[in-house]
Chain A
């Protein structure tokens, strides 16, 4: 990694990083990539988030779906771990709670493939600051 020597360097990195994230959502092709974020803080991992993340990585690949699976921190819904956020290209992200293998399979087959919501959504109930 290069050293950031000035504020201008930071701004450039920020723009590049933002673009990369945007690309992730939009992608080069018109359909774009599906973004899957698995909450992997201690609470999530303790409730089995790791195998769920592996499941998404492996199954999305097997089923030929272009997706980026990443880990993130605690979303705050510790009662409903493991929690997973799915963002379909061009859409608002949706959070699912209590995701086990069966639910993950349903999410891939119904929501990711066809855009049909499935049971278990955790509604957003807070305000963002940006």
Chain B
């Protein structure tokens, strides 16, 4: 028998290590130390009800366990084999005590569809993909379905583009299929560029064949014989695994001429991007593949009419493609039964920032931010207070406490002032200054603006200057008005999505954290204590014992004072590094 004690950060904060120790002690006392082992584990993703203890092999799941409960768990469950009722999880709906964790809802919080093979198969071995039903969907399409059937399934599934905009994938395929041409193209957009998003890379590194298979299915549906994957050269491992996968698929004849003995032929090549953010926009991506500058052009014409080399082209993102084969094999009914009314299926999110369980998760559409951050994500690092979460990358917005219970889907996120984007989720705590966050994202867009249109090229630069001005303590209330006006002009007049959305981080932080902006300009104060230029370190004379630790730790000799006498900080010399604050054991150094 094993007792698994959750040692995730959340549970450890509520004394789970003590629980482990008391369980061990109890077992020793009862002479069971050798038969029953106590094991500390990683996060169960159920932090809300932590600390959690799971008994194996019977899967009994105890919640909100206290160190003093160890005795009763050992006496009742381990020795007498009776679960301790009062420690069982109570289903909030049925009010029943649930002992077998397999019946608990939280296991259903994550469903892996796009990530179904990631971490299971060897990505460099096509047989392992085939063993898990790989290429069965392509086989089904070619042998049983017409291209119209495939498009119909895709439309009914309700799958929307996972790259950010959420355009219905089936509809996109239909438009491309209706445009007649001697040559059409299927393009996979693997130009993942949002800061903090890495799900496409993980899919390509962990399950490259799912993307190849889906591209072939798309080719069959729209009547294309050529596929191109546009991938950034910064993803060497993904490129290497894709090359291996393409090679193996060709050897099996799953790519190439007359697939499965039919008259359908399809092959895939790679195109490398140099890592420009704007090349994730489909027209810019196509221009880059054509060997031209990666600049967007006005739509229409849409790529489905005139794309790569002027031919009808269907562009989908990696995660969108990765979901396609299972939709074909398991049916659109199954896929559309997951998710919300207008956003079907699951979405992969990359959790990053001040969150305990940084990583990749895949949840049904409609899951709330609270479930993602505080349960699956294990809560905020170091027990700090949650402040905001940025979704949608540099084009998205910051969501706050009040949005935590919003079910996430494409439309809801837009309604609360952010967007889905590619699924990056950057979590911020009380120490993050929202003006600086807005500035960080603008820095990114200024860097990544292709320079073609003036509002984006010049406007974003001006926005960034204004924000820098404010974080240095030189801003005025009038600057805030100017900031807002400029944001709106850039939004309305930029040529492509990059410029149209680049002011979003500024606008959403202004909407949600207006007070913080005001403090920066009127009180010259940064409430989060992160803007260096607005900080002032001082020493409280009454608390200072004159130990000289701060003076010795100061790298610029800005602190003076006699041993055993009060010390002072020379504000002219101080570089605000915070070394004195960390060194002082008496809490005499203050930050204003």
A119 and B41 form a contact (CB under 8 A): yes
A127 and B252 form a contact (CB under 8 A): no
| Complex: A72 Cα to B117 Cα, angstroms | 9
Query: In the complex, which residues of chain A have a beta carbon less than 8 angstroms from the beta carbon of B207?
Result: 73
What are 15 inter-chain pairs, A to B, with CB distance below 8 A? A5-B261, A6-B261, A7-B143, A20-B131, A21-B131, A41-B206, A76-B359, A79-B357, A119-B7, A120-B40, A120-B42, A123-B4, A125-B376, A126-B362, A127-B111
A128 within 8 A of partner (CB) = yes
Chain A residue nearest to B3 (CB atoms) is A117
What 0/1 pattern do residues 71 to 113 of A give for CB contact below 8 A with B? Answer: 1111111111000010000000000010000000000000000
B131 and A5 form a contact (CB under 8 A): no
| Complex: A119 Cα to B20 Cα, angstroms | 11
- Of residues 37 through 74 on chain A, the ones whose CB sits less than 8 Å from some CB of chain B are 37, 39, 41-43, 45, 70-74
Report, as a range, how many residues of chain B touch the other chain. Answer: 35 or more
Report, as a range, how many residues of chain A touch the other chain. Answer: 35 or more
Would A118 and B360 be within 8 Å (CB), given that A4-B252, A10-B260, A129-B112 are in contact?
no
B491 within 8 A of partner (CB) = no
A10 and B39 form a contact (CB under 8 A): no
| Complex: A43 Cα to B54 Cα, angstroms | 29
| Complex: A80 Cα to B45 Cα, angstroms | 14
Chain B residue nearest to A98 (CB atoms) is B42
Pick from A1, A75, A80, A125: contact of B251, CB below 8 A.
Answer: A1
| Complex: A119 Cα to B261 Cα, angstroms | 52
Would A41 and B201 be within 8 Å (CB), given that A5-B261, A119-B40 are in contact?
yes
B120 within 8 A of partner (CB) = yes
Pick from B42, B46, B111, B130: contact of A122, CB below 8 A.
Answer: B42
B119 and A5 form a contact (CB under 8 A): no
A43-B202, A119-B40 known, 18 other contacts, Cβ within 8 Å: A6-B261, A7-B139, A7-B140, A10-B135, A10-B139, A20-B127, A41-B201, A72-B206, A73-B118, A73-B202, A73-B206, A74-B202, A75-B119, A76-B118, A77-B42, A85-B119, A123-B42, A129-B116
Which of B131, B198, B203 is packed against the most chain A CB atoms within 10 Å? Answer: B131
Pick from A3, A79, A130: contact of B252, CB below 8 A.
Answer: A3
A125 and B119 form a contact (CB under 8 A): no
Chain B residue nearest to A128 (CB atoms) is B112
Smallest beta-carbon distance A130→chain B, Å: 7
B205 and A73 form a contact (CB under 8 A): yes
B7 and A10 form a contact (CB under 8 A): no
B116 and A128 form a contact (CB under 8 A): yes
Query: In the complex, which residues of chain B have a beta carbon less than 8 angstroms from the beta carbon of A126?
Result: 107, 109-112, 361-362
| Complex: A70 Cα to B124 Cα, angstroms | 10
Smallest beta-carbon distance B573→chain A, Å: 40
What 0/1 pattern do residues 1 to 21 of A give for CB contact below 8 A with B? Answer: 111111101100110111011
B477 within 8 A of partner (CB) = no
Smallest beta-carbon distance B583→chain A, Å: 30
| Complex: A121 Cα to B104 Cα, angstroms | 20
B362 and A121 form a contact (CB under 8 A): no
Smallest beta-carbon distance A47→chain B, Å: 11
A28 within 8 A of partner (CB) = no
A41 and B202 form a contact (CB under 8 A): yes
| Complex: A117 Cα to B330 Cα, angstroms | 36
Smallest beta-carbon distance B118→chain A, Å: 4
Pick from A10, A16, A121: contact of B4, CB below 8 A.
Answer: A121
B132 and A130 form a contact (CB under 8 A): yes
Smallest beta-carbon distance A19→chain B, Å: 9
Would A80 and B42 be within 8 Å (CB), given that A72-B122, A73-B118, A73-B202 are in contact?
yes
B312 within 8 A of partner (CB) = no
B115 and A14 form a contact (CB under 8 A): no
Smallest beta-carbon distance B156→chain A, Å: 18
Would A17 and B128 be within 8 Å (CB), given that A76-B119, A117-B2 are in contact?
yes
B75 within 8 A of partner (CB) = no
A125 and B110 form a contact (CB under 8 A): yes
A79 and B359 form a contact (CB under 8 A): yes
Query: In the complex, which residues of chain B have a beta carbon less than 8 angstroms from the beta carbon of A76?
Result: 115, 118-119, 202, 359-362
Query: In the complex, which residues of chain B have a beta carbon less than 8 angstroms from the beta carbon of A121?
Result: 4, 39, 41-42
4 nearest interchain CB pairs? Answer: A73-B206, A126-B110, A75-B119, A3-B253
B37 and A117 form a contact (CB under 8 A): yes
A10 and B119 form a contact (CB under 8 A): no
- Of residues 74 through 127 on chain B, the ones whose CB sits less than 8 Å from some CB of chain A are 106-113, 115-125, 127
Would A10 and B118 be within 8 Å (CB), given that A45-B237, A116-B37, A127-B107 are in contact?
no
